[in-house]
Amino acid sequence: MSKKFQIVHYLNQFFGQIGGEDKADIPPRLEEGPVGPGAALNNAIGEDAEIVNTIICGDTYFNENLEESKAKIKEMLDKVKPDLLIAGPAFNAGRYGVACGTVAEIAKEEMGIDVVSGIYPENPGYEMYRQYAYFVETSDSAAGMRSAIPNMAKIVKSYIDKDGELGSPDEEGYMPRGVRKNLFVEERGSSRAVKMLIDKLEKNEFETEYPMPVFDRVEIAEPVKNLSDAKIALVTSGGIVPKGNPDHIESSSASKYGEYSLEGVMDLTEESHETAHGGYDPVYANLDPDRVLPVDVMRDLEKEGVIGELHNKFYATVGNGTSVANAKSYAAEIAEKLVADGVQAVILTST
């Protein structure tokens, strides 16, 4: 190869080594060469390609100034004119994942530049933007960087070797994109379908050619017949916890939930409670935690006889980046406890 394959890498402020949440408001900037995890990626992709530039943008800035960010990043890509864009990996960071997906959409849809990225399957960025990038599956946190880098590099090298004509997700190792392609095969579709049907009826193993999505089916609960006699509980994914966060619930990708007493508590104050939630400005939630967990309003409704009583415990976790599997597990445990305590209804609040 006479000329190295040129790649631009997109990172947020944290992986771009500028700072954490305090630097999440930085606008897009263009740096020379690889930065942060880009150095490892640059080594892993081999001698035929190189990361020539890195675009870094704060997650908060990107999401709060979307059109301006998109225009600026498009301008940068147009200036460099790379052969490929790498975004992330974003793991399970929601804002970062959406930003990587949006940048992929700009590159692919508007400029014809293919994109390789890494993301946790439950990150909303994957579902929203999977058709615009070759997303490699990662773990839910940056602890999985060591496996994410070689897996992404493998896709990049395959892309270069095959002149951009990658095979199927199963062949190459990226997640399904929801893109259907016509293929010529020896056996016609009707014959293949009949064989699959026979295998299914005979309980033999078979592999469908078009996997169907799996949707949760949640039965609608019966309405509360008489609120004035009902015990109501408060549950939140907004991270409201007693001051000091005694259970050390993580600000992102929470691995636990907390159970806290409301016995004798009429109002949540700045002195008594705070939010453990990351990913948004916590100032207003910390000034008055009732804004996220409305204990004061519930006490008023209790006094007025609108509800029978407010349950003397509340449950809290952090929704930011928390996996669906963990959230389901917490919900099942919390629901069991609430039923045992005679709770008839729950008010679930978020950020």
Return the pLDDT at 94: 82
How, if at all, do strands 5-12 and 49-57 pair? parallel
Q: At residue 41, does pLDDT exceed 60?
A: yes
CATH superfamily of 5-172: Cobalamin-binding domain (3.40.50.280)
Report residue 262 CA to chain centroid gap: 32
Give the residue with greater pLDDT, 46 vs 178: 46
What is the residue extent of each domain of the chain? 5-172, 227-349
For the chain, what percent of residues have pLDDT higher than 70?
99
Q: State yes or no: pLDDT of 84 exceeds 70.
A: yes
Tell me the C-alpha distance between 237 and 247, whole Å.
15
346's enclosing H/E stretch is strand 345-349
Q: Which two tokens stand for residue 30?
A: 């263009």
Instruction: Say whether pTM exceeds 0.75.
Output: no
DSSP states of 48-88 = TEEEEEEEEE-HHHHHHSHHHHHHHHHHHHHHH--SEEEE-
Say how far apart CA 44 and CA 158 lie, in whole Å. 12
Q: What is the pLDDT of residues 110-160, one digit of tens each?
A: 999 999 999 999 888 898 899 999 999 999 889 999 999 999 999 999 999
Relative to beta strand 231-236, strand 5-12 is unpaired
Q: Measured between alpha carbons, how far apart are the two ends of the chain, in Å? A: 52
